[in-house]
């Protein structure tokens, strides 16, 4: 049986906040593009139940918090009643097999295209700068396109997006999920605020580390206020440059990566705790061997 240097087995029980897991093999969130028109159906239920075990822990694929959130075809949402109803069947099936299931809350920000946006408008972001043509976007017809220029959110619009995260978390609990994981990683919307290489704002959401963390902290606080801290996880990837999400000082961006229940030093007085679990991928090797081919397809020829 696999043991780490502390002698803990991968198959030994683990207390994750209020959840008692019977082993430590976790399903990572993975976009599957199987939820036709944003509604998770039978194929999604089958996928998650296949991976469920008694006392296991699964995190769903990135799940859209609002109509402006998508950047891939057929990704499920959690913002409409129809989506909540559809998720109930998936969650019930996973619970029947004994696993704990968190819903990953996702907004891709500028990693989108007009074809995915209501009314064909440009995607939103922290910036007007597009993702470079080193990267390609998967289009609805299966071809790969160039990322278009996004529209930087006005300061006055940001709290509306924060509210979408809160409402999505409430919807997730209504659908029966045990908790939510906020996707703050991999160059998507929250990371577009965090990273110096993207965020070029002159308002209170740009510049200093406190300002660049402000949107993330507001989202966490809103979600925690909605569903309770013991149901909230946060994923970040300070050192990963996916979709041009670079930062010259990624270590500064590691507010949650050391200890659970740590007060967030970068939060500039915003005292939010994220106790249930976290999955900071500071030293993740993503893309790893498994994901290399997927990345190769998404990258442009000049990479
Ligand atoms: C096809 C594919 C889709 C993915 N979708 C998501 C996603 O929706 N949300 C997310 O946080 N990570 C996503 N990831 C990253 C995985 O969760 C995971 O981090 C990655 O496969 C590498 O595993 P590792 O972190 O254990 O090295 C995806 C990875 C792949 C290959």
Ligand 1 atom nearest to 185, measured from its CA: 11
- Using a pLDDT cut of 70, give the percent of the chain over it: 81
284: Cβ below 6 Å to ligand 1?
yes
pLDDT given for residue 8 in this prediction: 81
Write out pLDDT tens, residues 207-227. Answer: 999 899 999 999 999 999 999
pLDDT given for residue 280 in this prediction: 42
Write out pLDDT tens, residues 66-119. Answer: 999 999 999 999 999 999 999 999 999 999 999 999 999 999 999 999 999 999
79 is catalytic: no
Ligand 1 centre distance from Cα of residue 2 (Å):
23
156: Cβ below 6 Å to ligand 1?
no
pLDDT given for residue 253 in this prediction: 79
Please check the confidence at residue 286 and state whether its pLDDT lies above 60: no
104: Cβ below 6 Å to ligand 1?
yes
Write out pLDDT tens, residues 111-125. Answer: 999 999 999 999 999
Please check the confidence at residue 292 and state whether its pLDDT lies above 50: no
What value, to the nearest 5°, has the Cα angle with vertex 32 and ends 227 and 46?
80
pLDDT given for residue 6 in this prediction: 67
Please give the span between the terminal C-alpha atoms of the chain, in angstroms, as a whole number.
Answer: 41
- Using a pLDDT cut of 90, give the percent of the chain over it: 73
Write out pLDDT tens, residues 123-174. Answer: 999 999 999 999 999 999 999 999 999 999 999 999 999 999 999 999 999 9
Write out pLDDT tens, residues 258-285. Answer: 433 344 333 323 333 343 334 444 333 3
Angstrom distance (rounded) from CA 277 to CA 229: 10
From the list 47, 48, 165, 188, the catalytic residue is 188
pLDDT given for residue 270 in this prediction: 32
Angstrom distance (rounded) from CA 251 to CA 117: 34
Angstrom distance (rounded) from CA 162 to CA 100: 26
Within the chain, residue ranges assigned H as helices are 42-50, 81-96, 158-174, 189-194, 209-227, 292-298
28: Cβ below 6 Å to ligand 1?
yes
What is the mean predicted confidence (pLDDT) over 38-43? 97
Average pLDDT over the chain, rounded to an integer:
85
Ligand 1 centre distance from Cα of residue 288 (Å):
10
User: How far from the centroid of its chain's Cα atoms is residue 19's Cα?
Assistant: 21
């Amino acid at each position: 049986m696999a043991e780490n240097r502390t002698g803990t087995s991968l198959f030994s029980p683990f207390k994750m906040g209020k959840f008692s897991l019977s082993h430590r093999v976790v399903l990572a969130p993975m976009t599957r593009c199987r939820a036709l028109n944003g509604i998770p159906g039978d194929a999604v239920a089958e996928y998650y139940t296949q991976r469920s075990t008694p006392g296991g822990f699964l995190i769903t694929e990135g799940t859209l918090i609002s109509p402006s959130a998508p950047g891939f075809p057929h990704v499920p949402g959690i913002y409409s009643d129809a989506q909540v109803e559809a998720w109930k069947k998936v969650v019930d099936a996973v619970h029947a097999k004994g696993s704990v299931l968190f819903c990953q809350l996702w907004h891709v920000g500028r990693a989108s295209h007009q074809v995915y946006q209501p009314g064909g408008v440009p995607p939103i972001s922290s910036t007007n700068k597009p993702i470079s043509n080193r990267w390609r976007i998967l289009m609805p017809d299966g071809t790969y396109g160039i990322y278009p220029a996004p529209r930087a959110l006005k300061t006055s619009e940001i709290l509306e997006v924060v509210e979408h995260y809160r409402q999505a978390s409430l919807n997730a609990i209504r659908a029966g999920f045990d908790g939510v994981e906020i996707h703050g990683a991999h160059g998507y919307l929250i990371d577009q605020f965090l990273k110096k290489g993207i965020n070029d704002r002159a308002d209170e959401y740009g510049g200093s580390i406190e300002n660049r963390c402000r949107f993330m902290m507001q989202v966490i606080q809103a979600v925690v206020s909605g569903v309770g801290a013991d149901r909230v996880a946060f994923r970040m990837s300070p050192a990963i440059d996916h979709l041009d999400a670079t930062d010259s000082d990624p270590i500064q961006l590691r507010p949650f990566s050391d200890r659970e229940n740590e007060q967030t030093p970068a939060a500039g007085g915003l005292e939010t705790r994220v106790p249930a679990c976290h999955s900071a991928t500071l030293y993740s090797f993503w893309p790893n061997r498994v994901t290399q081919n997927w990345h190769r397809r998404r990258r442009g020829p000049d990479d």
